Structure 1
Amino acid sequence: MGRVVLVTGAARTLSGRLLRRLRKDPDVEKVLAVDVERPRHHLGGAEFVRADIRHPAIGKLLVERHVDTVIHMDVNATPLGSRGGRAAVKETNVIGTMQLLGACQKAPAVRRLVVKSSTSVYGSAPRDPAVFVESTVAKALPTGGFAKDTVEVEGYVRGFARRRPDVSVTVLRFAAVLGPSGGTPLAGYFRLPALPTVLGYDPRLQFTHEDDAVEVLALAAGEPRRGSYNAGTFNIAGDGVLLLSQCARRLGRPTVPMLLPAVRWAGGALRSVGMTDFSPEQIRLLTHGRVVDTTQMRTVLGFTPVFDTAQTFADFAAAHGPGILPPHTLAHAVDRLQEAVRHG
């Protein structure tokens, strides 16, 4: 008998890719795709089950279908389709996770839990360390938004791990996921015709390619490879960093430096017209940046990304650029300006 894997948040694009990837695994007998909405993408042979993880009925599904592996993908920053606004997202993230973990606790067949988290648990603040490791405690914990949701979610997951020590629990903290599909809030920001930036700041950013995200999720859901151990908490990101100014040049999009209050106002205006979810936590990221150490990902989890941060952004830019300025022209103009500043 092969494994029975349940994936939450199946209507999301990244989840759809994961479902199709899991169906190719010879050790997986059945994949259950769970969501309140039927996915628009192809499921690759996975079985769609309409269910709401916020309701206790999810426990009956786990027991009746003898699910042994749960991949919790329904922790997200933005709503999908007709699911409402920020309040609905928070309820799914936090209450949904609580109900799902309660169901897993009572399901004797469950032996592995994988949770898609985010490096946003570290926040973004001026006194942050240069590089976060998994054990780093943020100097300023997130006080709202998706970042606070992820902190709460991880807290509930740790509680579950203590109550069910027989279950292998893996938490993957992803740096911003980018790629050709471009379905994340940060991707929405980078698709703007001009990029609002905070005057005087040029943050360091890291990215995870969506292809690598799918592969590391599949790895974490399976049996550990020889010499690796896939239980625990792991930072997931491509090698290297990019400055926000470098991202803008590679996209061919001009930046619009503003004072911080003006950026906050612009973020509210962009959200109100539905152009992008330019949230306060995203503004903090685009002010102070965030870089994480991925040593544990390589040495313990045994995963090496195919794409580094620069390659990930190049793949995104190829699908969503160029902007109003040709990237090579913009880069040349910036280089000339910097040269002029250096020589007075």
Structure 2
Amino acid sequence: MGKVLLVTGVARQFGGRFVRRVRREPGVDLVVGVDLHPPAPELVGPEGGAVDRAAYAFARADIRRPVIGRLLAEYGVDTVVHLGVSATLLGSAGRSQVKETNVIGSMQLLGAVQKAPSVRRLVVKSTTSVYGSAPRDPAVFDEQMQPKTLPSGGFAKDAVEVEGYVRGFARRRPDVAVTVLRFANIIGPRADTPLAEYLSFPVLPTVLGYDPRLQLVHEQDAVEAVRLAAFEAAGGSINTGTFNIAGEGVLLLSQAARRLGRPTVPVLPPAVSLLARMLRGSGLADFSPEQMRLLTHGRVVDTTQMRDTFGFTPEFSTGEALDDFARVRGRGLLPPERVEGLVDRIGGGLLRLPPTSATRRTP
């Protein structure tokens, strides 16, 4: 018998892409996808002419309900990949339902896994948002550091609570290999994250007086990191524990805006909350308070353990991930190459101008 994986959150881009990737993995017999909504067939099906090795079954289920325990027993699941912790849900779910799914759903899932003797591996998708974003933060967070100020709400607080339940589960089931992956902001051509929504605006509102540092991870690299965590470690690596996952390098928000060709509009700090409420109310973007803190203070994490212990090196750097995002989403109103050409033309024109009387040399 090969591996049997149960994957939550398969209706979203990230979960669907992971299912599509892991079905091609040797030694996998079955992948069971779980979500409130069925994924689009092309999201979990074969890609680029690849042949799937593993069968796929979808269970339309709410992880807040006891049905998860029955699924684990029915299919003899040995690996659970929990990708269902998210900043937003599909459809018109409000913040309270998002929190219930993230926190209560994770509690129920972990309770079911604890009672399932067949499960030997658990992978949980988390976020570097657990470190928060505050003015007195250290320059770089590593996995052992605690935030100066704990997240007070939103997705970041959900992730902190979920990680706490995962640590409790690991103590109760020491026979289960547990991996928590704290992803930096995931971006890419098909990413459906709040930051990707923000960077898709034709004009980017920024906080006046701040230019935060951003760290990104390409969606393709994020999927690959989860795949590595779902299998036995190879080559001397250790893939159990908690790991920061991010691409190499850091970009200032102003640098990211220039690379995307999107002009920025600085907003006074007192008006930021009002703008965020307007954007959320209009449905244009999920501008949560934690998102605004990120766009004010930024956040950078150390990835030494990712490379040296987990044994993973992302294919895309932070800058390359942003460039790939721009390649598909399109350049903005001020594409860098057009701006450079304009500057060159202006500079060339100035050089050709005749000297003025003020600049003529006197005999």
Q: Shorter-chain TM-score: what band?
A: over 0.9
One of 102, 105, 117 as aligned partner of 2:111? 102
Question: Partner of 1:281 in structure 2?
Answer: 290
Q: CA deviation at 1:95?
A: 0.2
2:25 counterpart of 1:25: yes
**Cα contact 1:251–1:317 (8 A) shared by 2:** yes
What is the distance in 1 between the residues matched to 2:75 and 2:35?
Answer: 16
Q: Secondary structure at the match of 2:314?
A: coil
Match of 1:237 in 2: 246
Q: Alignment partner of 1:310: what SS?
A: helix
Bigger radius of gyration among the two: 2
Give distance in 1, aligned partners of 2:231 and 2:293: 35
Going from structure 1 to structure 2, the CA distance change for 1:315 and 1:131 (only over 3 Å counts) comes to same
Tell me if 1:148 matches 2:157.
yes
1:135 equivalent in alignment to 2:144: yes
Question: What corresponds to 1:51 in structure 2?
Answer: 61
CA contact under 8 A between 2:121 and 2:176: conserved in structure 1?
yes
Matches within 5 A, 1:155-170: 155-170=164-179
User: How far apart are residue 321 of structure 1 and its match?
Assistant: 2.4
> How many angstroms apart in 1 are the aligned matches of 2:342 and 2:314?
33
1:185-334 matched pairs, under 5 angstroms: 185-330=194-339
Q: How many residues align?
A: 335
State the 1:328 CA deviation.
2.9
**Closer, same or farther: CA 221–312 of 1 in aligned 2, 3 Å:** same
Query: Once the 2 structures are TM-superposed, how far is the Cα of residue 331 of structure 1 from its aligned partner?
Result: 6.3
Post-superposition shift, 1:310? 0.4
TM-score by length of structure 1 reads 0.95
How far did residue 244 of structure 1 move? 0.1
1:115 is aligned to 2:132: no
Q: Provide TM-score, normalisation by structure 2.
A: 0.90
2:233 is paired with a residue whose SS is coil
- Unpaired runs of at least 5, structure 2: 46-54, 347-363
1:75 aligned to which of 74, 85, 101: 85
Give the whole-Å Cα distance in 1 for the aligned partners of 2:169 and 2:311: 25
Distance in 1 between residues matched to 2:58 and 2:81, nearest whole Å: 15
- Quote the Cα distance in structure 2 between the aligned partners of 1:86 and 1:274: 13
Q: Distance in 2 between matches of 1:283 and 1:330?
A: 28
After superposition, the C-alpha distances for 1:248-296 in whole angstroms (9 at most, x for unaligned) are: 1011111001111212211111111000111110000000000000000
Do residues 90 (structure 1) and 94 (structure 2) align?
Answer: no
The offset of 1:81, in angstroms, is: 2.1
Relative to structure 1, the CA distance from residue 89 to residue 122 in structure 2 (aligned partners, 3 Å threshold; closer, same or farther) is same
Are 2:72 and 1:62 equivalent residues in the alignment? yes
Counterpart of 1:283 in 2: which secondary structure?
Answer: helix
Q: Is the 8 A contact 2:13 2:191 kept in 1?
A: no
Q: Any idea what SS the aligned residue of 2:150 has?
A: coil
CA RMSD across the alignment: 1.5
Aligned equivalent of 2:13: 13
